[in-house]
């Protein structure tokens, strides 16, 4: 069996990723992937399954009003989830079914944790604001996952469109593998399921509100940029 180096794992990283993943997760995920690649025969799908189980454990902890445990389990679940793709790219063992399973696993973790967090806090306090919070998390996730593929579909229909030149800040982020979309779903989930629970129950609703507003703001910016691009393409065609 081939022996991999840390450089091999790092070469299998995504070209660009969310800043939370790049700075708060990948330094650990790369080393975990190195151990998995060299010392086990775990497949990417098996690793995804482990991530799903950890995500459900996080949801159960949230439902039991154990916020710190839930936050730690959610982080570890996401950490493991970041390993499966690295192993797939490193060993060339990725499959279409694995992509589907990874997508479903993410949705299971996020929606179950939203439900668990809302249930646990409502059971502890009787405050309906936590139910609204859980529903808002689910709705924002649904919007994001519907909006993203549709935007990619529109972009694919504009093969001749030209991207504006990158700013110095954007070039600096690209050198560090950080994508321009600074508050994506990954940062939203980190804020809601890791940072806020660690800060305590009193921080859950306000931090979710702030994170939700930031997510909507950045999504709106993406939609606006897409609209500008489509208008420019229409002008070029003389429409």
pLDDT digit string (tens) for 75-120? 999 999 999 999 999 999 889 999 999 999 999 999 999 999 999 9
- Structural domains of the chain in order of their starting residue, each with its CATH number: 6-236 (1.20.120.1760)
pLDDT at 238: 62
pLDDT at 144: 85
pLDDT at 161: 53
φ and ψ at 165, to 5 degrees?
-60, 145
163-180 as b/e: b if 16+ CB within 10 A: eeeeeeeeeebeeebbbe
pLDDT at 162: 52
Q: How confident is the model at residue 227 (pLDDT cuts 50, 70, 90)?
A: confident
Distance of CA 18 to the CA centre of its chain: 8
pLDDT at 104: 94
State pLDDT tens for residues 166-193: 677 677 777 888 887 789 999 999 999 9
Round to whole Å and give the CA distance between 44 and 82. 10
User: How much of the chain, in percent, has pLDDT values that exceed 70?
Assistant: 92
pLDDT at 186: 94
CA distance to 39, 140, 143, 200, per residue, from 146 (Å): 39, 10, 5, 31
pTM: 0.90
Q: Name the β-bridge partners of 17.
A: 178
State pLDDT tens for residues 115-173: 999 999 999 999 999 999 999 999 998 888 888 777 778 777 775 555 555 677 677 77
Would you say residue 65 has pLDDT above 70? yes
pLDDT at 145: 83
CA distance to 52, 118, 201, 202, per residue, from 196 (Å): 21, 13, 8, 9
Average the pLDDT over 184-206 and give the result: 97
Provide the mean pLDDT of the chain. 90
pLDDT at 239: 55
């Amino acid at each position: 069996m081939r022996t991999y180096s840390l450089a091999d794992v790092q070469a299998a990283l995504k070209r660009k990723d969310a800043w939370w993943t790049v700075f708060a997760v990948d330094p650990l995920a790369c080393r975990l992937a190195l151990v998995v690649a060299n010392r086990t025969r775990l497949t990417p799908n098996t690793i995804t399954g482990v991530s799903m189980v950890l995500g459900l454990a996080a949801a159960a902890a949230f439902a039991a009003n154990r916020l710190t445990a839930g936050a730690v389990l959610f982080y570890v679940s996401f950490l493991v989830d970041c390993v499966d793709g690295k192993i797939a790219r490193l060993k060339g063992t990725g499959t279409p079914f694995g992509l589907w399973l990874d997508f479903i696993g993410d949705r299971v973790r996020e929606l179950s944790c939203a439900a668990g967090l809302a249930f646990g806090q409502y059971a502890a306090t009787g405050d309906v604001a936590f139910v609204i919070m859980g529903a808002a998390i689910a709705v924002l996730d649904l919007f994001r996952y519907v909006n993203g593929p549709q935007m990619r579909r529109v972009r694919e229909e504009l093969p001749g469109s030209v991207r504006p030149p990158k700013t110095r800040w954007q070039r600096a982020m690209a050198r560090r593998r950080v994508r321009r979309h600074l508050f994506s779903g990954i940062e939203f989930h980190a804020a809601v399921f890791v940072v806020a629970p660690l800060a305590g129950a009193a921080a859950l609703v306000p931090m979710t509100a702030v994170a939700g507003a930031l997510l909507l703001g950045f999504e709106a910016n993406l939609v606006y940029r897409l609209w500008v691009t489509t208008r420019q393409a229409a002008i070029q065609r003389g429409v």
